[in-house]
């Protein structure tokens, strides 16, 4: 497992689930890996030792080290090692704009979204998604960070212009009022939703992320929501993901696909053994992968 903090709930659960099934699992600090990139025998080293003999890699790459983490994961792929989520799929999901463009092409329900490089068109962008209130978010934000609600035209414009003045890439999206500050996290493993929870934002907060003080409860999702979650993962090429969506008057609206979803909230709210399902998926699917098919 590529992860920097072995003490996180998600990482401890994956280790326990793997060991319970008789597997050996090592936690490798992603930032301490280094590569020898050659045509004949690509290598990956860790603390002076060559990493060899692994059947599978579970990438738990934090957003702050996406560039380096994906480079390390690609090196495993070059060595023919099977990866739970491939580097290209994680890269697509981490770039919110790219992910939305892919899902839009496939007709998956999305919030109205606009983007531009110049702050001079901020008012046009806000009107394109239905006018205030609007959600302004960083293209590479995570866990609710870099997400701002612009409740009026002046406040939305000033937020947009501040971000663009700092040369930060952002999206402007419609605010789905009927969601009532709640969203749904569907946890997908393979071609199945193995658990779903409804997350409700805390007082005075519109973001429902558990890291931002939201609460969670088990929920039964509709067939349309189930289908949307699975289609989104297929579109991005992800085997395991947390798919976040809103309930709107026009059906499920996808807001994000998380390629490294946490396990604590979903396991505690549903009571499901999500870590065990992930390890079972690896057991069924992990096999040596020819390097030439990966790039």
State how far the Cα of 101 lies from the Cα of 119, in Å rounded to an integer.
21
- The CA angle 146-148-150, to the nearest 5 degrees, is 155
Q: What is the pLDDT of residue 47?
A: 92
For the chain, domains (ranges, CATH) are 9-84 (3.40.50.20), 113-175 (3.30.1490.20), 178-273 (3.30.470.20)
Residue 216 pLDDT exceeds 50: yes
State how far the Cα of 55 lies from the Cα of 105, in Å rounded to an integer.
35
SS3 state of residue 245: strand
Residue 289 pLDDT exceeds 80: no
- Once rounded to an integer, what is the mean pLDDT over residues 56-62? 97
Nearest Cα neighbor of 222 from 198, 206, 241, 242 is 198
Residue 207 pLDDT exceeds 70: no
State how far the Cα of 30 lies from the Cα of 9, in Å rounded to an integer.
18
Q: Which residue has the tokens 């001079």?
A: 120
Residue 81 pLDDT exceeds 70: yes
Q: What is the pLDDT of residue 7?
A: 96
With cut-offs at 50, 70 and 90, classify the pLDDT of residue 168.
confident
State how far the Cα of 139 lies from the Cα of 152, in Å rounded to an integer.
22
How far does Cα 96 stand from its chain's mean position? 9
């Amino acid at each position: 497992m590529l992860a920097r903090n072995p003490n996180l709930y998600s990482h401890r659960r994956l280790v326990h689930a793997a060991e319970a099934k008789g597997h050996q699992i090592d936690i490798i600090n992603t930032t301490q890996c280094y590569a020898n990139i050659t045509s004949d025998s690509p290598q990956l080293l860790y603390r002076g030792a060559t990493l060899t003999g692994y059947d599978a890699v579970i990438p738990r790459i934090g957003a702050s080290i996406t560039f380096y983490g994906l480079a390390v994961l690609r090196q495993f792929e070059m060595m023919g090692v099977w990866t739970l989520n491939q580097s290209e799929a994680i890269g697509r999901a981490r770039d919110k704009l790219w992910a939305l463009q892919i899902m839009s092409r496939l007709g998956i329900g999305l919030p109205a979204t606009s983007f531009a490089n110049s702050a001079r068109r901020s008012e046009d962008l806000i009107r394109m998604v239905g006018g205030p209130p609007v959600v302004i978010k960083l293209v590479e934000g995570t866990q609710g960070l870099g997400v701002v609600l612009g409740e009026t035209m002046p406040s939305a414009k000033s937020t947009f212009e501040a971000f663009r003045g700092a040369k930060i890439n952002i999206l402007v999206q419609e605010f789905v009022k009927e969601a009532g500050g709640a969203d749904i996290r569907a946890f997908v493993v393979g071609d199945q939703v193995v658990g779903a929870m409804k997350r409700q934002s805390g007082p005075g907060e519109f973001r429902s992320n558990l890291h931002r003080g939201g609460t969670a409860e088990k929920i039964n999702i509709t067939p349309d929501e189930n289908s949307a979650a699975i289609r989104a993962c297929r579109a991005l090429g992800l085997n395991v993901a947390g798919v976040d969506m809103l309930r709107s008057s026009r059906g499920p609206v996808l807001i994000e696909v998380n390629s490294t979803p946490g396990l604590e909230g979903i396991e505690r709210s549903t009571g499901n053994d999500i870590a065990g399902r992930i390890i079972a998926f690896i057991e069924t699917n992990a096999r040596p992968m020819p390097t030439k098919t990966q790039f």
